Chains A and B, each alone.
Chain A
Amino acid sequence: MDKSILRKRNENDGQEKQIVGINQRRFRQKLAEYKRTPGSLILLILVYLSAILTIASIGFLLVYVLVKGIPNLTPELFKWEYNSENCSMLPALINTVFMTLLSLLVAAPIGIFAAIYLVEYAKKGNKIVGIVRITAETLTGIPSIVYGLFGMLFFVTTLKWKLSLLSGAFTLAIMVLPVIMRTTEEALLAVPNSYREGSFGLGAGKLRTVFKIVLPSAVPGILSGIILATGRIVGETAALIYTAGSVAVVAENVFSSTRTLSVHMYLLSKEGFHTNQAYATAVVLLVLVVLINFASDYIAKKFAADGINSGR
């Protein structure tokens, strides 16, 4: 503290004057300055107010849903058979797992392979790369209801898969494809070139280098992207209503119509008779999504911290 305060003797009256570094001022000094510049004070207040409002709105939502929902989490809600009395969410929960796995089974290989092409194979200035990037960006911006319409027209009607797990999974796979592509691309780009050069230097071919050297070092980044995609799939409703349907029974095969947890939640709250059960479902959905989000963040951070530097 003392170091930053310059003491300077004023030559006229011999008094000592303090010059304080701007980042070292005390609260009272700041207050005095704000009195001189009320405009700045108003801006400061507005900034803090907005930040508080943002946190308050999300905090209120979380607390409200949790407080209302947790007391309603009864064993009734986890019965194997759904009926309109117990509103069991278990079938929907299991279907959500099926839906997630099936969508990722389609989207993950395609997304990862596409990213490999963009990063490892495409030469600089390749026209395909530009087009792929633009289309991926377009896919990111398309709202889920448009995916739902497309899925209904293409998978359900044209391919005659009917309302089914499969139609829903393929629709969602297209929806999360750009997420997986982008995160994988970033993860691959973060792998230092010296790894590749080392591998080539030892006589490995391109393919071997990609699969044995580059991909393993990029796994955490790719994984974090896949988990992010899982979050999108679990939370999706609009794209599924007219592709996967709303049958509340555990799917027997990929061609049976199913409802996922989000769709279940929507239908419950739309009916309006089962508000308590809807709260409980919201809690489960919220907790799932929170866990998924933090897992993705955690892995991404760990990757940034020690993924590559630890030297595989």
Chain B
Amino acid sequence: MQKFKEVFMHIVFLTAAFVSIAAVALICVFLFANGIPAMKEIGFGRFLSGEVWRPSNELYGIWPFILGSIYVTAGALIIGVPIGLLTAIFLAKFCPKGIYKIMKPIISLMAGIPSVVYGFFGMCVLVPLVRRLFGVNGNTMLTASILLGIMILPTIISVSETAIRAVPDKYYQGALALGATHERSVFLTVVPAAKSGIMAGIILGVGRAIGETMAVIMVAGNQPKVPDGLLKGVRTMTANIVMEMGYAADLHREALIATGVVLFVFILIINLLFSILKRRTVL
């Protein structure tokens, strides 16, 4: 009886471990099975590089949204990476203990704030701000980039900080002993040594930014056309799915799922890069 229980529970545990494998497999199967046929029907080339998205005329080109996602993510990186990296350096090498104790929980809280709240904040503060500063409709690529830049800060900060802290103190001390200033030692010896860990953090940030949905929808304007300027509206792949899934049917619906497939492939590539970098460093 005891023996049976042992074996039974062993099997239960093993099954539980298989659930995550099954989940990934199911997600792949269902997304690809529903998305690929639509891509075939529309034509891979015309779907991926078509510049016009007009479901009423059976025109399904998601090139504007791919570009939109890439632009907004790049914008978020331009804002988030320098600030995030420097803040991580501050936390690891400049911060007095007392301040660290306050700052660290605040940054982990930043990661926990729901994206709708960020989006709402962007809608009520950033959008009017951009409207007043530049005299345009405030729902722009710039607004979305700033908001996403703030949203990826905690990811970049915490991964980079861990990477910087993992660098042996010898590096820093050696540079100091050679007469370099504190800043020089940190920036020219410690940070370069933490390079691949920092890269991993940035890639994780890219994944967050490209997959972000609600916050982007609320501030980006969402016009379904090729984005043509920092102060123009933009629609990302994620936004496209949420905006139209509510009323889409047939091929339109499948085209939206296919948009999800393209997004999924992007994310898989980013994940792969992340795990390769993570293997190369001690996180």
Give the interface of A toward B (CB within 8 A). Answer: 22, 33-34, 37, 39-41, 43-44, 46-51, 53-55, 57-61, 64-65, 68, 109-114, 116-118, 120-122, 128, 131-132, 134-139, 141-150, 152-154, 158, 174, 177-178, 181, 205-207, 231, 234-238, 241-242, 262, 265-266, 269-270, 275, 278-279, 282, 285-286, 289-290, 292-294, 297
Contact = CB atoms under 8 A, between A and B. Distances in A.
A117 B16 contact: yes
A278 to B, nearest CB: 6
A59 B153 CA distance: 14
Nearest to B146: A57
Contacts of B181: 33-34, 37, 40
Interface in B104-120: 105-110, 112-120
Interface string B157-186: 100000000000000000010000111100
B194 interface: no
A177 to B, nearest CB: 6
A140 to B, nearest CB: 8
Instruction: Report whether over half of chain B's contact residues are helix, strand or loop; otherwise say mixed.
Output: helix
Given A143-B263, A150-B27, A207-B5, A48 B13 contact: no
Nearest to A236: B114
A269 B116 contact: yes
Interface residues of B, number: 85
Contacts, number: 256
B183 A144 contact: no
17 contacts: A47-B183, A50-B84, A50-B86, A55-B103, A121-B13, A132-B17, A139-B24, A141-B204, A143-B213, A146-B260, A146-B263, A147-B27, A235-B112, A235-B116, A242-B246, A292-B112, A294-B105
B14 A53 contact: no
A145 B211 contact: yes
B115 to A, nearest CB: 7
The 3 closest A-B pairs by CB, nearest first: A143-B211, A235-B114, A113-B16
